[in-house]
Amino acid sequence: MTDYDQARWQTGDGRYEPLLSEKDTTRVEIGGAGDGGDESGDDDSPLPDELTRDSLELPALSEPELARHYTRLSQMNYGVESGPYPLGSCTMKYNPSFTEDVAADPNGAVHPDRDDATVEGSLELQYRLQDYLGRIGGMDAVTLQPPAGAAGELTGILIAKAYHEAHGNDRSEVIIPASAHGTNFASAAMAGYDVVELPSGDDGRVDLDALDAAVGEDTAALMLTNPNTVGLFERDIETIAEMVHDAGGLLYYDGANLNALLGRARPGDMGFDIMHYNVHKTFATPHGGGGPGAGPVGVVAELADYLPRPHVRESDAGYELYDPESSIGKLHGFHGNWLVLVKAYAYIARLGDAGLRDASAKAVLNANYLGSQLDYDIPYGPFHHEFAASTGEQDAADVAKRMLDYGVHPPTTKWPEMVPEAMLTEPTEVESRETLDDLARAFNAAAGEDDATLADAPHATTARRIDQVSAARTPRLSWRALDDE
C-alpha cells in the first residue's frame, strides 16, 4: 500500500465537508428592509425585473467558519500547488505568484469602457505583449483577443478563410493529422470546412506520401503542432510547408507544444503562416477549470489586415486602437482576458530571452529523465517535452487512478490513439529531480500491480472512483440541484 493520504474533512456521519447551506440552517436576510438596504435602488437596474431581487437569504455563518470551509475544500482538492501534474499536452506548469502581484496592481484593473486616450499604459502593455509574442513565434502581427487556445484556432481558421475569400479561392478542406487535439477538428468544422484526416507514418510523424495525396486545390490549410502530440519534432517541416504552400494552402501552427521550443526555434521560421499561443500553457498563467486562459493568435504580414478588431498599434500620438482593414470581426468582448494577459506579460518580461531558453531546455531534459526511469515502454522517440508511454496489457485509466494513491497526478490517458493505452506525460521544467523520481516510483509501482488492485483504485484520495460519465453529462452545479433531489 501507500504512505500517502489526501486530506479528508468528514462529519461524524462520514459525509465530507457539508455545504454552507447545510452547516447552518438559520438564514439571515441581506439587502432587505431589515438590513437598511435600499430597495428603491432597483428601479435603476438595467436588468429585467424577473432577474433582480430585493433581498437574499444566506446561511448565518461567521467569517472564520467561511474561511475554514473553503480551506478544507481546497485541501481536499489537488492542484499544481500541491504536487506534480504531468498532463501531457496541457503543460500544467506552476504559476509563479509574482505574476499575481502584477495583475493585482489597481492600475491594471481599468474598466474596458474607459476612453482609449485615458488608458495608454494598458494599450502600451498590450502592444508590448503583441511584440513579445510575435518575436517568440516569428510572427509579424499578434492579436490578444481570443480567450483560449481553441478560440485562437477558430480565429486563425477564420482568418485563413477570409484570406482565401478575398483572393477568390474556393477551398473547402482543412487537413489535420489523426493525432491532433480534438479542438483542431472542431475549430475547422466550426469555420465551415470539411476535415481531411491525415494518418501518421510508422515513425509517428506526418507521412509525406499521405500528405501528398491529401493536399490539393481544395486545401485551405494544414493544422499542425510541432513537436507533435507524442513529443516528436516534425523533421520534414520545411518540405511540409512547401507542399502546402505550393498547393496554395496556408499553414496553421497549434501552439500548445511551444514550451518545447521557446527561445530555440520559431514556427514562423518553419513556414507557418498563422499560430495560436496558449499563454496558460507556455507562459504560466492560470489553467484549468475552464479558464480564464488566453489564446493570442499570430500571423504573417500578409494576413495582418484580417485580425480581429480592435487592434493596438503605435502611432505618433502614442498607442491607439484601430480596426484592421479586412477584420474578421470580434472574437471576444473588449481586449480578451486582460488580466491573464498581464500575467503572461509579467512572466515573459521576468524570464527574458535567457529564462525562456532555459525553460524549454529543462522541459525537454525533465521529460527525457522521467522517461528514462520508467518500466513502461515508450514506443516513439526521440521525444522532446513530452512522451507517450504505453501501459500495454494494463488499462491506462486504471493505472492513472492507481497513481493517485501515490500522491501524484497521473498523465493524460488514452490519447493520442496512435499509442495503445497511452500515458501522455509532460512533467514541465518546474519539477525537481526528487519530484520526477516520485513520479517514476508511482508509474513503476502501478506497473507491477495486478488488475484487481488497479481496478479498485484509488484508495488514498478524498473521493474514490467517481462516475465520470455522469459527472460530465449531468453535473449538479448548485446546491439547489442537490436540494431538489
Q: What's at 76, amino acid-wise? A: M
Judge whether 345 and 132 are in contact, CB under 8 Å: yes
89 vs 366, which CB is nearer to ligand PLP?
89
Task: Say whether residue 225 binds ligand PLP (CB under 6 A).
Answer: yes
Distance CA 290, CA 268 (A): 29
Nearest to 389 by CA among 452, 320, 403, 83: 403
123 vs 256, which CB is nearer to ligand PLP?
256
7 vs 186, which CB is nearer to ligand PLP?
186
Task: Say whether residue 254 binds ligand PLP (CB under 6 A).
Answer: yes
Distance of CA 37 to the CA centre of its chain: 42
Judge whether 404 and 364 are in contact, CB under 8 Å: no
Among 161, 164, 181, 409, binds ligand PLP (CB under 6 A): 181
Min dist CB 175 to ligand PLP, Å, is 16
> In the stretch 83-122, what mask flags binding to ligand PLP with x, by CB under 6 A?
------xx--------------------------------
Task: Say whether residue 293 binds ligand PLP (CB under 6 A).
Answer: yes
Distance CA 249, CA 196 (A): 13
Task: Say whether residue 278 binds ligand PLP (CB under 6 A).
Answer: yes
3-state class of 286 per DSSP?
Answer: coil
Query: How would DSSP label each residue in 437-451?
Result: HHHHHHHHHHHTS-H
Nearest to 463 by CA among 396, 404, 414: 404
Provide the 8-state DSSP code for 206. Answer: B
348 vs 440, which CB is nearer to ligand PLP?
348
Task: Say whether residue 227 binds ligand PLP (CB under 6 A).
Answer: no
The cell for 454 is 488497479
89 vs 428, which CB is nearer to ligand PLP?
89
Min dist CB 183 to ligand PLP, Å, is 5
Distance of CA 289 to the CA centre of its chain: 10
At residue 299, φ and ψ (nearest 5 deg) are -140, 160
Among 134, 231, 295, 411, binds ligand PLP (CB under 6 A): 295
Which residue has the closest beta carbon to ligand PLP? Answer: 149
Longest dimension (CA), the chain: 76
87 vs 303, which CB is nearer to ligand PLP?
87
148 vs 274, which CB is nearer to ligand PLP?
148
181 vs 266, which CB is nearer to ligand PLP?
181
For ligand PLP, the binding residues in 42-81 under the rule CB under 6 A are none
Task: Say whether residue 270 binds ligand PLP (CB under 6 A).
Answer: no
The cell for 133 is 509574442
Task: Say whether residue 147 binds ligand PLP (CB under 6 A).
Answer: no
Nearest to 277 by CA among 86, 145, 180, 102: 145
Min dist CB 475 to ligand PLP, Å, is 19
Task: Say whether residue 148 binds ligand PLP (CB under 6 A).
Answer: yes
Alpha helices in 24-170 (DSSP H): 63-75, 98-103, 120-137, 149-166
Judge whether 335 and 308 are in contact, CB under 8 Å: no
108 vs 177, which CB is nearer to ligand PLP?
177
For ligand PLP, the binding residues in 298-327 under the rule CB under 6 A are none
Task: Say whether residue 174 binds ligand PLP (CB under 6 A).
Answer: no
Using CB under 6 A, list all residues that contact ligand PLP: 89-90, 148-150, 181, 183, 225, 229, 254, 256, 278, 293, 295
